Amino acid sequence: MTFRSLDTADLAGKRALVRVDFNVPMEGGVITDDTRLRSALPTIRYLSSRGAKVILLAHFDRPKGQRVPAMSLGPVAGPLSALLGEPVLFGEDCIGADAYRTVASLENGQMALLENLRFHPGEETNDPAFVSELAAFGDLYVNDAFSAAHRAHASTEGLARLLPSYPGLAMRRELDMLDAALGNPQKPVLGIVGGAKVSTKLDLLNNLVRKLDRLAIGGGMANTFLAAQGHDVGGSLCEHDLGDTARAIMASAKTAGCELLLPVDVVVAREVKPGTATRTCGLDDVKAGDLILDAGPETVKRLIAAMDASKTLIWNGPLGVFEVPPFDAATVAAAKHAAGRVKTGQLVAVAGGGDTVSALNHAGVVDDMTFVSTAGGAFLEWMEGKTLPGVAALEV
């Protein structure tokens, strides 16, 4: 994939329409986690410092094309201004007279945040008329919201077709890291896919077995594979109706030369709660009322050996019910080992997906991985091998 680079753009005095992801968690009009604001700061500062007029476009929540006061981006402007140390104007709309006045008042290097794009139905339908209204405010377009790039919306796909377009700094880093993990990785490549259900990750599994050297499957979804092999999984979470699907994935992996790593031992209990009695056992020793809640120590040893034999790791999903200790043991051990390999330069480790980020935070290693994506759906669709409209539109 080839993209224009911002460092080749003539920015002084130009109006830069910048798509950011400011869909931040908020309670009572107060932001509770400003991670997404912080991730946009480098691009905003880069453009501002080079004399561009920076016009920020974003959505918040799901107003479904209606003006919903509780979903205004107004409460974001103040905290963003505080992070930047510069004033950020707020436009009461993203098109029309209010937006025009806000944009027209900007001097070179100044910044404005326009109102929630999704107050207009044309945003999500990618309506050409709405796209044209947005484009009238800009001389160039920058997409710094990889997390929204899997949507073909006006502000993610439509604008990129009308204006000279560039990936922002955060977007570019995400694309570079994903390319390093799946596009052109250092081999051998190991994947870890966990989570509750096979049914939610069929496209992911089918894509990865064609691209990886080894794929470890953990969490509740591993039970479906174990059951498909004829193992009794007791009362564990298991999609028994997907046995044929699991066997087909195993066959595809064998054909593609991808070694599938399934648990060889498990940690079981009778209920999911802290302090409950647990038992580590082999796959043929799971009793009728047992719940498989974590991978066992021998499984972790095999996974660590696979990491040691790999140069690249891509990780999505925990290995057990990490939210309830002691069923976090496998996830924490694997995460800490991966982080250690990254620190010594022996492994490139890229991870993403909501539960994955939480699990790595729980293990205390988020900052030690090569890259941790917070993009959620866009990260998963990229791993599934799908074309992301917001990325494809930036290609030259």
Contact yes or no for 99/114 (Cβ under 8 A): yes
Biggest CA-to-CA distance, the chain: 72
Instruction: Tell me the pairing of strands 26-27 and 312-316.
Output: unpaired
Q: For residue 146, what is the DSSP state?
A: G
Contact yes or no for 113/84 (Cβ under 8 A): no
Residue type, 206: N
Residue appearing with tokens 């025009």: 100
User: Token digits for 322?
Assistant: 């990490």
Q: Could you confirm whether 36 is annotated as catalytic?
A: yes
Q: Where do the DSSP E strands lie in 200-277?
A: 214-217, 259-261, 265-269
Q: Could you confirm whether 4 is annotated as catalytic?
A: no
The 3-state DSSP class for residue 291 equals strand
In the set 197, 270, 311, 336, the catalytic residue is: 197
In the set 109, 354, 376, 385, the catalytic residue is: 354
Rounded-to-integer distance, Cα 231 and Cα 176, Å = 41
- Helix and strand totals (H; E) in the chain: 15, 17
Rounded-to-integer distance, Cα 230 and Cα 232, Å = 7
In the set 51, 74, 377, 385, the catalytic residue is: 377
Q: Could you confirm whether 197 is annotated as catalytic?
A: yes
Query: Which helix H or strand E contains 337, and what residues bound it?
Result: helix 329-343
Residue type, 77: A
In the set 36, 50, 211, 214, the catalytic residue is: 36
Q: Could you confirm whether 195 is annotated as catalytic?
A: no
Q: Which residues are catalytic?
A: 36, 197, 354, 377
